[in-house]
Structure 1
Amino acid sequence: MSHAHLAVVGGGQLARMMQQPAIALGLRIRLLAEGPDVSAAQVIADSIIGDHTVLADLEAVAEGVGVVTFDHEHVPPEHLRALADAGHAPRPGPHALLYAQDKGEMRARLTGLGTPCPRWAFVETPGDLAAFGFPAVVKATRGGYDGKGVWVVREAAEAAEAFASGARLIAEELVDFRRELSAQVARRPNGEVVAYPVVESRQAGGVCAEVVSPAPDLDAALASEAADLAERIAAELDVVGMLAVELFETADGRLLVNELAMRPHNTGHWSIDGAVTSQFENHLRAVMDLPLGPADPLAPWSVMVNVLGGAVTDLDAQLPVVLGDVPHAKVHLYGKAVKPGRKVGHVTVVGDDLADVLADARRAAALLTVGSPA
């Protein structure tokens, strides 16, 4: 087996996008992939096919490797502790990752830290939910993403599916928010931290549709508060690597923490083309305990638009159309089969004028999604 500097668990697009900065830094990644042709396995030669819930598969990918990091948060904590006991360094560690894996644990810990959160409670029965009050957002504490495992309920009957799911549930107030923000930081084991510009993320159907960096018209004090919040959470939870703190900016100008992600995150993809050091490079630097790179923007504005599976099923054939029409757009395709609504890539445009940058990024994404300009 070839010598590798770090193991990455999970073969999705986040692992795929770690490979480019790894090449530049001379770091060799060994991948635990779900199958031979998943997104990251197409570009990382040293791949093992296995299951992240099977300890033997995790031990195989970690063999001879000091550092283990992740494309997702779903590795069982007991397996991570076993890897740590065997002398490997899971980064982030199981003590931190728990708060990205379990929304109930996250809410309890953040509340204990005095972090601003929506009003919330554990709910085990319809009676608990009725006592909490409507409208509410009911969430499975584990396993939900991109709108899955989340139910907006305005009356008791709408919660039937949530209670039937068998999942442990929490209820949160339905926040009257003006927009969603994301504050990202990279943190090393020694506590060195770098904060990225606070961005606005716009959702469609529970999935991130586009990201604008920096968040337009964001009050300077609020931007500073968001970055400080992310740095404090990273330190308090001892996160190593990238941390994304997804926030609500409320209608009355407050910040509330919505979700945490302890890995590179969709709201940071703009940084590949729009920042001095991308989130993927800084994730690698952080987990390998290398000095972090500056997160300063390269242009006044960066807009990232996700490419979700649509009418265009042959992305290869459509690529020359996009590059010819919007040559300055940076196109990132993930090597995935097109399925309706599936994230198959993203496009980023950077520049001086927000209206132009936004229009060009949307146009490029539309050409890859529906085949015609938006």
Structure 2
Amino acid sequence: MVGGGQLARMTHEAGIPLGIRFRLLSDTPQDSAAQVVSDVVIGDYRDLDTLRDFARGCDVITFDHEHVPTEHLRALEADGVPVRPGPDALVHAQDKGVMRARLDAIGVPCPRHRIVADPADAAAFAAEGDGFPIILKTVRGGYDGKGVWFVRSEEDARDPFLAGVPVLAEEKVDFVRELAANVVRSPHGQAVAYPVVESRQVDGVCDTVIAPAPGLPEERALEAQGLALRVAEELGVVGHLAVELFETRDGRILVNELAMRPHNSGHWTQDGAVTSQFANHVRAVLDLPLGDPRPRARWTVMANVLGGDYPDMYQGYLHCMARDPQLKIHMYGKDVKPGRKVGHVNTYGDDLDDVLERARHAADYLRGTIVE
């Protein structure tokens, strides 16, 4: 697996029961996954020679992130190394401009959009619709709110162009909430779909995920799952695909983003589904039969634990575990820094209000924003 973050850490954990030998390419020995994987190569994923050396002896290469240069992945494939998802699929998660063009071509509903050249062109794009505000995104490198700007005027549109990379303009969607449809697809075309979830964001970062999305009509949930499965098939995705969605006030479902790896909106599956997203990603990239994605409980809630002014997580465990013996805590081995994702908690049960309160209490207590 290329990338040493928490997604690699949890994917490695899912492979242990199957006896999978896991090799990791990590930036540093302190990265989340590098702390727990025995076969670690420290190196720069942007260097082709490093990637080639890492890939020797590997049966398959997969990813913790989408940032490996597309041309490097093509070189690995030319060397005979199975890359899953392959570069022809992964480029749609790497480049938002390519993604939008491809989704348009296959008839997938998206927000109004186009590539813009400068602030004046962004203002022209706004004028073509309902005017400002609009959303500007760099086509590559953005995540968790980075590389995304909420723009209210032409003057406000200067910063996105400073990096010298293409900029995508999108309409500001009048949405009710954000949803996510998570699916997994294997090389021989088997695919499974998890329940559609509601994803609540704070400052552009996923804060809470509720599975299944409360109040979502069955036909709308099936529409979202079908949409995600079609995207996975049309793009040739192998492994986990997260399709982030807007549910609009006028009843539409629009695709916001794609991620071709285990995803924050699927962390609830570790404790809330028969087969987790991580286990199914491992199965998919190894072309094993996929596991059952159905939920184990009526409701499961995932709440991210963000770093705050309370670095002693162990003391927090004492309170949280005693208060809620069913609570599941997943920490990433990261140094605690304000606003940094350092872990998440999962709760489950039959009463949504209770499940939500337990998850939020634990996440806030571990962060230190509440003390009792």
TM-score interval (norm. to shorter): over 0.9
Q: Does the alignment pair 1:14 with 2:7?
A: yes
Tell me by how many angstroms 1:167 deviates.
2.0
Q: Which amino acid aligns with 1:355?
A: D
Aligned pair partner of 1:318 in 291, 316, 319: 316
User: What TM-score do you get using the length of structure 1 for normalisation?
Assistant: 0.97
Map of 1:223 onto structure 2: 221
Map of 1:113 onto structure 2: 106
What is the DSSP-based 3-state SS (H/G/I as helix, E as strand, rest coil) of the residue aligned with 1:244?
strand
Tell me by how many angstroms 1:63 deviates.
1.0
Map of 1:362 onto structure 2: 360
Q: String of CA shifts for 1:109-140, please: whole Å, max 9, x gaps.
A: 00111100000011012221111112210000
Q: Does the alignment pair 1:87 with 2:46?
A: no
Aligned mates of 1:176, 1:14 — CA distance in 2: 31
Q: Does the alignment pair 1:351 with 2:357?
A: no
Tell me by how many angstroms 1:41 deviates.
0.7
What's the C-alpha RMSD, in Å, of the aligned pairs?
1.0
Alignment of 1:293-308 (within 5 A): 293-308=291-306
Aligned pair partner of 2:44 in 51, 54, 79: 51
Larger mean CA deviation between 157-166 and 63-72 belongs to 157-166
1:363, 1:373 within 8 Å by CA — same for their partners in 2?
A: no
Q: String of CA shifts for 1:13-65, please: whole Å, max 9, x gaps.
A: 00000112110111111000111121001110110101110112211221111
Map of 1:204 onto structure 2: 202
What is the DSSP-based 3-state SS (H/G/I as helix, E as strand, rest coil) of the residue aligned with 2:158?
helix
Aligned mates of 2:286, 2:56 — CA distance in 1: 17
Tell me by how many angstroms 1:317 deviates.
3.0
1:104, 1:141 within 8 Å by CA — same for their partners in 2?
A: yes
Larger mean CA deviation between 307-316 and 116-125 belongs to 307-316
Tell me by how many angstroms 1:66 deviates.
1.8
2:48, 2:72 within 8 Å by CA — same for their partners in 1?
A: yes
Aligned mates of 1:251, 1:310 — CA distance in 2: 35
What is the DSSP-based 3-state SS (H/G/I as helix, E as strand, rest coil) of the residue aligned with 2:214?
coil
What is the DSSP-based 3-state SS (H/G/I as helix, E as strand, rest coil) of the residue aligned with 1:249?
strand
Aligned mates of 1:225, 1:121 — CA distance in 2: 25
Q: Does the alignment pair 1:249 with 2:242?
A: no
Map of 1:265 onto structure 2: 263
Alignment of 1:35-46 (within 5 A): 35-46=28-39
Map of 1:4 onto structure 2: none
Tell me by how many angstroms 1:316 deviates.
2.5
Map of 2:57 onto structure 1: 64
User: What TM-score do you get using the length of structure 2 for normalisation?
Assistant: 0.97
Structure 1 runs (4+) deviating above 4 angstroms are none
Map of 1:190 onto structure 2: 188
Map of 2:140 onto structure 1: 142
Q: Which amino acid aligns with 1:163?
A: F
2:66, 2:260 within 8 Å by CA — same for their partners in 1?
A: yes
Aligned mates of 1:60, 1:336 — CA distance in 2: 28
Q: List gaps (5 residues or longer) in structure 1.
A: 1-7
Tell me by how many angstroms 1:165 deviates.
2.5
Alignment of 1:232-247 (within 5 A): 232-247=230-245
What is the DSSP-based 3-state SS (H/G/I as helix, E as strand, rest coil) of the residue aligned with 2:140?
coil
Q: List gaps (5 residues or longer) in structure 2.
A: 127-131
Tell me by how many angstroms 1:373 deviates.
5.5
Q: Which amino acid aligns with 2:102?
A: R
Aligned mates of 1:166, 1:79 — CA distance in 2: 22
Aligned mates of 1:173, 1:372 — CA distance in 2: 38
Q: String of CA shifts for 1:48-99, please: whole Å, max 9, x gaps.
A: 1011101122112211112000000000011111111111111000000000
Map of 2:129 onto structure 1: none
Aligned mates of 1:21, 1:174 — CA distance in 2: 38
Aligned mates of 1:290, 1:53 — CA distance in 2: 30
Q: Which amino acid aligns with 1:120?
A: H
Aligned pair partner of 2:284 in 257, 269, 286: 286
Aligned mates of 2:205, 2:355 — CA distance in 1: 21
